[in-house]
Structure 1
Amino acid sequence: MAEVSTEVPGDERGTLLAFVEAQRAALREAAQGLTEEEAASRPSASELSLSGLLKHVAECELGWLRRAQQRPNERERDAETWGDSFRLVEGESIPQVLAFWDGVARETEAFIAAVPSLDDVFPLPPAPWFPADTKVSMRWMLLHLVEEFARHAGHADIVRESIDGTRAMG
């Protein structure tokens, strides 16, 4: 697994990227030491698995990055394939998902470093949970990634503890 830079400037961009990376790390750590089968298991009442969560957050980050870049998302899901974003399909493995996510993370960091301002905006996608015709800032996107990853890191903690009793906080 490629390491994401730990040399973070103390400015707003660096601080926000450090919080995003901390939540990425929490998700990665939840799956460490498990077999592919264990990571694909669903030992709790939830339909979520650790490998599925890793894939979902990697694709989620790519989706927000592509929206911010205002570029097409090469992994866009439709109603028919949406469920595949929460599970590994034939030919996929945890190392492949983590390598993909590492690449997305590096691309996110480079993009954020290059944008002129965190106040730069992009349109939200049409969705019932977003106001119509609304734009959000790069800052909003980074905070949204922290929120999304933290929510799923909590899910990952519960799933991992259900698998083998391992607890993220001791």
Structure 2
Amino acid sequence: MTTTPESSTQQSASSRERADLVQALRRHRDFLRFAVRGIDDEQARQRTTVSELTLGGLVKHVADTEVQWATFMTEGAGSAPDIDWESIDWSNPPAEIAAYADSHRLKDDETLEGQLARYDEIARHTDELVQTLDLDTDHELPKAPWFEPGARWSVRRAVLHLLAETSQHAGHADIIRESLDGQKTMG
């Protein structure tokens, strides 16, 4: 197949966009990894602020979130549980909600090292998706109170959201780590 200068330019722009997205994701993943560098599992489970967040829990949550958005990019919302958020009995939440709560903490049988290795595998897979999927493909979002009913997001928008999630949680991790032992990612 012969490419025209226009299609070559479009491919070049698409390649640059994909490279920029992957590079930005990697940078913010590195900020998160830096925040947990040199700590042990006990420190990874330690709360240092009034929030329930811990360093190990953040790594686990960001990895789980990345899996969910990678699945959305390839399958859409079809695999997301349909939860009636307004009818939840919070004293006895459904299994999906309990699992979500567990995704924010490093359990006793989990290690920070294991979660970081898992995160590396997940990140490689996501990077491959960003390099290969049509960024304009869109899917309906799952039903949740934080999404407008019937809204659709493109793969590109899902990647940008994932970048924002990773960046935000890397910032949380930086605050928790500074409260733990004074280490800062920046400054």
What TM-score results when the alignment is normalised by the length of structure 2?
A: 0.79
Question: Does residue 90 of the first structure (1) align with residue 108 of the second (2)?
Answer: yes
Counterpart of 1:141 (choices 158, 161, 164) is 158
Selected match of 2:29 from 2, 19, 24: 24
Q: How many residues align?
A: 158
Partner of 2:174: 157
Q: Shift in Å at residue 150 of structure 1?
A: 1.2
* Aligned pairs (5 A) from 1:65-104: 65-70=70-75, 72=79, 78-104=96-122
Measured against aligned partners, the alpha-carbon deviations of 1:94-146 in whole angstroms (never above 9, x if no partner) come to: 1111111111111111122221x211112211111111112111110111011
* Counterpart contact for 1:122–1:135, Cα < 8 Å: yes
Q: 2:56, 2:105 within 8 Å by CA — same for their partners in 1?
A: yes
What RMSD, in angstroms, separates the aligned Cα atoms of the two structures?
Answer: 1.7
Structure (1/2) with the larger helix percentage: 2
Quick one: which amino acid aligns to residue 102 of structure 1?
D
- Check the 8 A contact 2:40/2:112 in 1, yes or no: no
Secondary structure at the counterpart of residue 64 of structure 2: helix
Q: CA deviation at 1:10?
A: 6.5
Distance 1:29 1:10 in 2: 28
- Which residue number corresponds to residue 3 of structure 1? none
1:37 aligns with 2:54: no
Contact 2:130 2:159 in 1 (8 A): no
TM-score normalised over the length of structure 1: 0.87
Helix, strand or coil: the match of 2:139? strand
* Aligned sequence identity (%): 39
Provide structure 2 residue ranges, at least 5 long, that are not aligned to the other structure.
1-13, 81-94
Shift of 1:88: 1.3
For residues 129-167 of structure 1, what are the alpha-carbon distances to aligned partners after superposition, in whole Å with 9 as ceiling and x for unaligned? 111112111110111011111111111111000000111
Matched, 1:108 2:113: no
Distance 2:162 2:28 in 1: 9
State the alpha-carbon separation in 2 of the partners of residues 28 and 10 from structure 1: 27
1:63 aligns with 2:48: no
For the pair shown, the structure with the greater C-alpha radius of gyration is: 2
Return 5+ residue gaps in structure 1 as ranges: 1-8
Conserved 8 A contact 1:67-1:123: no
